[in-house]
Amino acid sequence: MHCRKVLELLPKFIENDFSPSERAAVEAHLKECEACRLEFEAMARLVETLESLPPIGVPRSFKEAVMSALPPQKKHSDEK
């Protein structure tokens, strides 16, 4: 497996979101490629840090502000 492909797959690898054969291919590459392994370790640390942060509260008015900033929806031709 090439570095470009491995780097593309790292987020899925961290989330354990692939088949056993894909996982084995990425693991084999990481054992052999220091650059990709360092990128994986940095990404894994970042994910771990982000997951450890407390949730951020959102003001009640946030949804209304976002919705009012969106353009009006067009009705579909099958709606009347």
Average pLDDT, the chain: 87
In whole angstroms, give the CA distance from residue 40 to residue 9. 10
* pLDDT computed for residue 55 by the predictor: 87
pTM over 0.75: no
Structural domain for 45, as ranges: 3-54
pLDDT exceeds 70 at position 75: no
C-alpha span between 14 and 35 (Å, rounded): 16
Residue 77 pLDDT more than 60? no
Residue 75 located in a structural domain: no
Residue 36 lies in a domain: yes
Please report which confidence band the pLDDT of residue 76 belongs to, taking 50, 70 and 90 as the band edges.
low
Asked if the structure places residue 79 within a domain, the reply is no
Residue 27 lies in a domain: yes
- For the chain, the domain total comes to 1
19 CB-side CA count, 13 A: 3
Q: What is the pLDDT of residues 26-64, one digit of tens each?
A: 999 999 999 999 999 999 999 999 999 998 888 878 888
